[in-house]
Amino acid sequence: MSPRLEAEHLFKVFGRRPDDAVERLRRGADRAELRADGATAAVIDASFRVEAGEIFVVMGLSGSGKSTLLRMLNGLLEPTAGSVRFDGQDLTALGDRELRALRSRKISMVFQHFALFPHRSVRDNAAYGLEVQGVPRAERERRADEALALCGLAGWETSWPDELSGGMQQRVGLARALATDADLLLMDESFSALDPLIRRDMQDQLLQLQKTLKKTIVFITHDLNEAMRLGDRVAVMRDGRIVQTGTAEDILLRPENDYVASFIQDVDRSRVLTAGALMDTSVTADAPLCGCETATPETPFTRLCAIGARLSHRVSVLDEAGRVVGVVPRRRLLGFLGDETAAPVACDNPEGKVISHA
């Protein structure tokens, strides 16, 4: 099955003689060199695939080109080179009219600062995409109300955007995007402008919705914790290039280079890592050897520690069929917590005598 969305060797250069600039970038020129000549390379040779029903997070600091990348996925910006395929259709080959039709039916977008229309009621905002499609008023209001209810805004339909809190406004933004039944949801730093507590709320709600809706989502963020929480897969961008693509654990456990490594330093690993990522897969069995408590590959790190503390031996990790797919020794838990991967050093007092009493 081909991926729902596929980007191949995307380039976006602003400024003078963009095609030349792409040529030079392909030959290995760097960003600073181009800037001297008046061209700004926003996205350089970006390739990735997003499967249907997946949340794909693009993460990078501001100026890394992630918003530009997002806007090439729905044709708001035309790539300087490369192609974007959505459902097997090459967006770069489409004319304005077809592109607009695609945007109104198949792709919707949620913005950083909500971008709600202040002169429209909450309901009219949510119904905007349907209005553009030409859906009759009664139907579009029904569908807008459904989308609002889905986002927890039932009863607010006749309010005005400026009467709502930030979190509620972004729910309207989300409802507007969901109301059109688009398959692909582009979210541009959608939760970055919210307070941390509300941001977490919104992330939970998005994950909750995603369980039933199974949209294909491309989510842009500069917040690594958010990326780890939401992303089935994460692409890390730096200076216009995608430096690593992989699952949250891939990024955390196997950073491709120093940049990614330094980036993930501050991440609270205990929230992200699961037994599946930590376990020693060299030990497997058809069934556990004892009746002690066990974990699953999805068990988060903190719960794993709790189980480990209650057991006298390593924790077995079982799959759905009850087979042992790996084990987690206690030392491994400590090692990950302390970012230590080296083998333990030998002790000079192997008998383990007590050295002193308190």
Distance between CA atoms of residues 131 and 103, nearest Å: 13
Q: Between 108 and 274, whose beta carbon lies closer to other proteins?
A: 108
Taking the complex as a whole, how short is the minimal distance between the CB of residue 192 and other proteins, in angstroms?
13
Tokens of residue 184, six digits: 């692909």
Q: Between 193 and 213, whose beta carbon lies closer to other proteins?
A: 193
By the rule CB under 8 A, 186 interacts with other proteins: yes
Cβ pair 162, 114 in contact under 8 A? no
Q: Which amino acid is at 215?
A: K
DSSP helix/strand/coil, 150? helix
Cβ pair 56, 233 in contact under 8 A? yes
By the rule CB under 8 A, 100 interacts with other proteins: yes
Cβ pair 272, 249 in contact under 8 A? yes
By the rule CB under 8 A, 74 interacts with other proteins: yes
Taking the complex as a whole, how short is the minimal distance between the CB of residue 74 and other proteins, in angstroms?
6
Which of 93-101, 199-207, 235-243, 279-287 is the region at the interface with other proteins (rule: CB under 8 A)?
93-101
Residues 104-133: x where in contact with other proteins by CB under 8 A, - otherwise, as a string: xx-xxx-xxx-x-xxx--------xx--xx
Q: Between 34 and 110, whose beta carbon lies closer to other proteins?
A: 110
Taking the complex as a whole, how short is the minimal distance between the CB of residue 100 and other proteins, in angstroms?
4
Q: Between 2 and 133, whose beta carbon lies closer to other proteins?
A: 133
DSSP helix/strand/coil, 313? coil
Q: SS3 sequence, 289-358? A: CCCCCCECCCCEHHHHHHHHHHCCCCEEEECCCCCEEEEECHHHHHHHHCCCCCCCCCCCCCCCCCCCCC
Q: Between 104 and 274, whose beta carbon lies closer to other proteins?
A: 104
Tokens of residue 290, six digits: 């004892």
Binding site for other proteins (CB under 8 A): 74, 76, 99-105, 107-109, 111-113, 115, 117-119, 128-129, 132-133, 160, 176, 180, 186
